[in-house]
Structure formats: C-alpha cells, structure tokens
Structure 1
Amino acid sequence: MSSAHDSTTPESTPHDSTTHENTTVVLVGAGVAGLTLGNFLLRNGVDCVVLEKHSRAYVEGRQRAGTIDTFGVRMFREWGLEEVLAGDSVPESDFDFYIDGHAMSADMGDDNDEALYCPQQVLVRNLTDVFLRDGGDLRYEAADVSPENLTGERPVVRYRGADGVDRALDCDFVAGCDGFHGVSRRSIPAAALTEYSHAYGYNWLSVLAAVPTDPAAMAIHPRGLAGMIPRGSQATRLYLQCAVEDTAEQWPDERIWSELEARFEIPLPTGEIVEKRIVPLRSVVFDPMSHGGLYLLGDAAHIVPPMSAKGIHLALHDTQVFARAVIRAVKEGDRGLLDTYSETCLPHIWNYQAFATWITEIMHNAGDTRHEGEFRKQIARAELQRQFTSDAANRLFGELTAGVN
C-alpha cells in the first residue's frame, strides 16, 4: 500500500478543494497510545499518519501522572523501543504507608521490580522524538478531524491542516487514540456501543508541587486518603480525596499543605504549587471497541480511577494487540486478529477494572466513613491487613500492580 508521503492528489474542481492522500492507518491522537502504535507500525513497514489537534509544545507540556508497570517496560523492550524509557523516568520503589498516622510496612513483592514512575509528558516526548527521527508522519494542529465512511470499503479521515488547507486521508484502518473526550468514539453511532460506567462518590484533588519526595507515600485517614508520588527529583504529585462537588478554587495552597499534614500526621515540607485540578474517580468501558474500520484504543475505549495506576497499562495493552493485528492484516492478508480485537482486549480490561475498583474502594473506605459507613471501613481494613499478612494475597497484588496477571 502506498505511503501518504508520495500519493498527494489535489482536487481541482470548484466544488471540492480538498487535498486527498492515501495511507494504511490514520492514528487520531498523539498521546501514549497513538505514538506507541505509530512507532510499532513504522518499524514494521506499515504506512501511517498521526493527527493531533494540539501543537507539539502543548502536547509535550501537558502535566500528567503516569506509571509504566512491568508489562509496559517489557513490552517496549520487546519491540526495540527501550530508549523511550530513558530520561526523566524514576524507578518505582517501595513507599511509606500510613494508617491513622501509624507507619506500616508496604512490601509490594518483586513482580513490579521493573516498573517506572514516568510523567506522561516525558514518555510522550520520547515517543515523539523517536517517531520523527525514524521518518514518521506526525501532523500537529489538525483541526476539525472527522472520521467518515467507517463501514464502507475504505474509511476517510478529513481535517484542516495547520496551513488552513482541507485534507482527506483515505485509509484502510482508523485508530482512535484521542482520549475519552475525543472525536473518534463520537463518530460511532450511539446505538452501536454499550457503555458500562461507575462513579465512586468522591474525587481527588491532584496537585503538582515543586518539592522533592523520597520515597512515595500514602495515607489512609478518617479525613480522607492522601498521597505523595515523586515526579522527578524536584517535583511531587500530591493527591487529596475530596468531595465530588469540590472545585480547585476551594483549595488554596495553605489548605492543601495543612490537610496533607493532617492526614499523614507527620511534618511535611512545603513549596510552590505549580498546578491543581479536580480528578473525577470513575470507571468506564465501551463495548465493542471497534466499528467498521475504526478501532478504539486507550482512554477512548475505557478509563480507570487513578488509584489503580493502570491507565497507561491498558492503553499499551490495547496498542500491542491492535499493532499485531494490523501488521498481520497488511503483511499476510489475515484479518483474523482484527476481527477479534474487542474480544481479545475486553477480558483483560475487565480484569484490571476489577482490580481498579477493588483497590479504589479499599483505600478510600478504610479511612473516610462518610460514603460507605463504619461496617465497610472495618471490611476494608481487614482486606488491607491481609495484604500485610498473607503471602498469597501479596503475590496476587504484586501480579496485578505489575500488569502481568
């Protein structure tokens, strides 16, 4: 199949000034899923174009948390992309764990020994650099992206380029990697999708602070859950459980530091607050993850609460499944893996949704009784105690946190 780079054929009729091109795969979204997929395809000789509605500076500057678990680290190595893990990634280590101000031992086992704390923008930057260095076609500031003819012989993705020219990419497959609010899933008729969702009844205040943290720490407390996760040598991501109706404006800097110290019940360093936002805690799955020639990957198909640290894991798992399917279809003419894409991904997704729900409810119910009451608090604490006393429970938890279960 011909590359988009050498098949531009501008239309000259007065009714259609759109510039048409051909490629094999159009990837909508230059986040973790889109850029990982782009690199996989590029290295296997499959033509692709990545469309991103924002500028490169905006995409690489987005401050997002991220954990690349053992599954993700091994996956990048297997595909010859270990270099994207270099730079500002921080090896994941044991963390301090506090319950009502009392420090607990928190041995997570050895299953996740290859995991990395990696700010999402660092991974995106590295994936971008490698993709462009190897000749990838990445188009920023693509406006009004519109996937069309999804159930026809060949899908078309229309957009307006940064130069103001209307363009259309005729392709064989569209990969929707543009997140929960992106255009890809909205291009699928509502009747063709089933949405499964759950809201947890509380949110997180997510704060980026210019202070060091070593090691990571988490606190369970009657005032609510709190967390401190290192994001480089001089930055920390802070988390505070808050009410669903709370806004970031209700949390001035002084309140953040005061509440964090109250929940840990130990003196803590303070510093500049760089960013703060409210993060809804919810789980969502869409079924199926494809419609005609459009395939959904990552947050476009599902989201998990951040307590589980499995958002990147699920995006990378989808990406690997889809990449293998496309490569086989293009090189061998075998669409079998494409036809079973949803059936392959969804059991894995539900497995980690179960883990995400379990860990989220335990960690919040064990402290704050305002939502589920004292009975659920005692149940949650009994489950937590099992993690400290049972080798079998700890082993399963280690497999799930490592992403190898």
Structure 2
Amino acid sequence: MRTRVGIVGAGPAGLVLARLLERAGIDSVILESRSRAYVEGRVRAGVLEHGTAALLDEFGVGDRMRREGMVHRGIELRFDGAGHRIDLEKLTGRTITVYGQQEVVKDLIAARTQSGLPLHFDAEVTGVDGTTLRYVHEGVTRELQCDFVAGCDGSHGVTAASLPGGAVQRWERDYPFAWLGILARAPAANEELVYAYHERGFALHSMRTPEIVRLYLQVPPGTDPAAWPDGRIWDELRTRLGLALQAGPVLEKSVTPMRSVVTGPMRHGRVFLAGDAAHIVPPTGAKGLNLAVADVRVLAEALVAHYRDGSQQLLDAYSETCLKRVWQVQRFSNWMTSMLHRPGSQDAFGHRLQLAELAYVTGSDAAATTLAENYVGLRKEL
C-alpha cells in the first residue's frame, strides 16, 4: 500500500491528526497494534482544555461531548482544612470540559469508520525504515509506503525506537511519588475538580460523569494496589480531601508513576513524533491529551502547507514550534506537582513554604490568573 501520511497509533494524537488531514483532502492510513475494544476501553485523562474542546466541535466530532461532557468554570484548591475556588472563566474568559479521553477516542474512531478511511487495528508495526512502515496484520507481514510518518504510538512505541542512535535527545525527571487512582460508581462530592494538599499527601477529586468519579491519592513509588483495600482508600480520600465522599463500587484501581520526559528534536527526516511518543508530563496539570492535540494541530498545518504549495517552512519549524509549548507545559505541570505533593523527607520549613505558596496563589488575582490561563490552555501565540 501507499499513502501520503502513515500514522502509527490510534490514540488521540493519531486520530486527531487523521481527522485534520481528512478535512484538508490529504490521505492517511492509521496502524494500531491493539484491538479496537482495547483502545476504546483505556481509561485515561478526562480534562479537555478550552481549545481542545473547540477543535472537536470544529471538525464535527463534538456533539456527544456537548451532550454528555461537563463544562467546568473553575477548580478548587484545598489546604489547611479550607477550600479556595479558582474562577477560570472570570480570570481567562475560558472554561474546561470534563469528558473522558476514551470517549474522545470513541467519537474519533466512529467518525473515521463512517468516512470509510483506512484504520487498521491489531496491526503491529515492527519497523520504521525511513518512510516505509513494516507491520503485521491478520498474520501477514505487509509494507506501507508513505511520504511522511507520524509516530503517535506512545512512550514505548516503535517509531521513536526506530530512529537512528543520536537522532534525538531525551530529558527526563522521575518524581518521588506516584498516584493511586480509582474509578468508582459514586456521586461526585463537588461540582468541580478539587486538588488537595494535606500533611498526609496529595489527593484529587475529579469525575467522568455525575455518577462516575475518578479519585487519586499520593503514594510512594512501587506501591502495590492490593495493599490498599477499597475501604482504606475511601477513608484516606475523605481525610485528605475534607469532603463527604459517598463510597461506591470501585471499577478500576491502579498505581501510576510520576515522571516528565521531553524528546527533541521531534522530527528526523520525514518522521515526526507527536504526543506521548515525544513527551510525558505528570498528570497534575491535566495536560497529556491536550498537549498531544496541540502537537498534531501544528503538524497538520505544516503538512497542508506542503501539499498545497510545496512549502517546507512549517515542516522545518515543527519541532521548535512544538517544543516551545512542551516546555511551558512541563514548567506548569512541574509547578503544580511540586506545590501540591508532600516529599517523603520534607521538613517543617518546606511544609510551611508550600502552604505559603498555596495561600499566595489563592489570595492574589495575578497568581490565580497565572494558574488559570495555563490550566484552560495556553493560547496559540504563547
């Protein structure tokens, strides 16, 4: 087979890129190593920046999001036993939408399927040789010849691993804590997301629907989820959040390590990296999906310019353009993480500094605006 753009991975980055290219009349083929059921069932992020939600509307896959998603106009920071609301809409004129990443993926897959354009599940890419993708599908080894390759296959994907040695550099940071997360069938205890700093550690109250909550606790790296029975989790959440949580059946339980990774440049020849294939951010700032979408918007614009008038300028600038935003998002996510988590060896002085930081952020309009404009999503010109 031959296509203009071969896309490795059917996560948000790959699917959004394919949709943007489709609207510009540029053909593409998506190869995904997992099954459709697996891809649509992966529980991931649930916060869409203002611009991400607007883009889904713009290219015709936002109807269900607008029906079922929840528009939030603020978030709450809790510390010292009290809650402090950050009014996102008042401070920035923009909002966020709570809508699960897996739901975004379902909507994009449905649109791709309806268009009848190539999307192959259970198609494992085994090698990237320049712009040739070798993959196995239905037991047959095949090749896909491309003008360009978009590696949207995550942090452990084959695209980045196939680049020659020294082609890219990686900057990494591991954090001294992890998140124990649960998805539970229980009513939300607050109308908006709650980020809590507590002497026992960080906690987060979020939701996927009014009846499904997503809750997190700071735990040490390497924590075994089995060491946390459901009752213990609910008790600890109530303590740290200071909310009257109503317990319900736990649908999923997992521990996620906290780390930051940036790969640069995000391009080698005609192979481009996007989303988690190029960077990972700690989840505190709710930026993973949104940063992936920002990447492929830049890439799609560059590819459209190339096919429209032969211009290479935007393609050549792709990595530099994306990395400016990537590092800004890393800065914000690192700041949120550092402000809200208790290091295991923290002394009383450090504890007081964190409380002072939180008091300043919630007590100063200037500081609150800084948080708010990053949280709802940096504008394109930033």
Report the Cα offset of residue 87 of structure 1: 4.6
Residue 396 of structure 1 pairs with residue 376 of structure 2: no
Write out aligned runs for 1:355-394 (5 A).
355-364=332-341, 368=342, 370-394=344-368
Residue 207 of structure 1 pairs with residue 182 of structure 2: yes
Report the Cα offset of residue 200 of structure 1: 1.6
Instruction: Give the TM-score normalised by the residue count of structure 1.
Output: 0.88
2:19 corresponds, among 31, 39, 44, to 39
CA distance in 2, matches of 1:348, 1:96: 25
Identity %: 39
* Conserved? CA contact 1:261–1:267, under 8 Å: yes
CA gap 1:84/1:211 in 2 versus in 1, 3 angstroms: closer
Between 1:47-56 and 1:385-394, the stretch displaced more is: 385-394
Q: Which amino acid in 1 is paired with 2:206? A: I
CA distance in 2, matches of 1:112, 1:349: 23
User: Which residue is 1:187 aligned to?
Assistant: 162
* Conserved? CA contact 2:29–2:118, under 8 Å: yes
Residue 67 of structure 1 pairs with residue 43 of structure 2: no
Q: Which amino acid in 2 is paired with 1:102? A: A
The 3-state SS of whatever aligns with 2:244 is coil
Report the Cα offset of residue 402 of structure 1: 1.3
User: Which residue is 2:153 aligned to?
Assistant: 178
Runs of 4+ in 1 over 6 A off after TM superposition: none
2:100 corresponds, among 119, 125, 150, to 119
CA distance in 2, matches of 1:87, 1:63: 20
CA distance in 1, matches of 2:183, 2:84: 25
Q: Which amino acid in 2 is paired with 1:210? A: R
* Conserved? CA contact 1:65–1:237, under 8 Å: no
2:240 corresponds, among 239, 243, 263, to 263
The 3-state SS of whatever aligns with 1:185 is helix
* Conserved? CA contact 1:286–1:301, under 8 Å: yes
Q: Is the radius of gyration larger for structure 1 or structure 2?
A: 1
Please tell me the root mean square deviation across aligned C-alpha atoms, in Å: 1.7
Q: Which amino acid in 1 is paired with 2:11? A: G
CA gap 1:339/1:37 in 2 versus in 1, 3 angstroms: same
Q: Which amino acid in 2 is paired with 1:168? A: E
Report the Cα offset of residue 369 of structure 1: 5.3
2:113 corresponds, among 132, 137, 161, to 132
The 3-state SS of whatever aligns with 2:187 is coil
- 5+ residue gaps, structure 1: 1-20
The 3-state SS of whatever aligns with 2:247 is coil
Q: Which amino acid in 2 is paired with 1:23? A: T
User: Which residue is 1:3 aligned to?
Assistant: none
Q: Which amino acid in 1 is paired with 2:140? A: V
User: Which residue is 1:159 aligned to?
Assistant: 135
Report the Cα offset of residue 30 of structure 1: 0.4
CA distance in 2, matches of 1:96, 1:346: 30
User: Which residue is 1:8 aligned to?
Assistant: none
* Conserved? CA contact 2:275–2:291, under 8 Å: yes
CA distance in 1, matches of 2:53, 2:291: 13
CA deviations over 1:147-187 (Å, ceiling 9, x no partner): 11x2xxxx1101111x2222111011000001111111111
* Conserved? CA contact 1:84–1:130, under 8 Å: no
- 5+ residue gaps, structure 2: none
CA deviations over 1:33-87 (Å, ceiling 9, x no partner): 0000011111111010000111111111111122110121233344455446345
Report the Cα offset of residue 266 of structure 1: 4.3
Report the Cα offset of residue 199 of structure 1: 1.3
User: Which residue is 2:124 aligned to?
Assistant: 143
Q: Which amino acid in 1 is paired with 2:42? A: R
Report the Cα offset of residue 248 of structure 1: 1.2
* Conserved? CA contact 2:125–2:133, under 8 Å: no
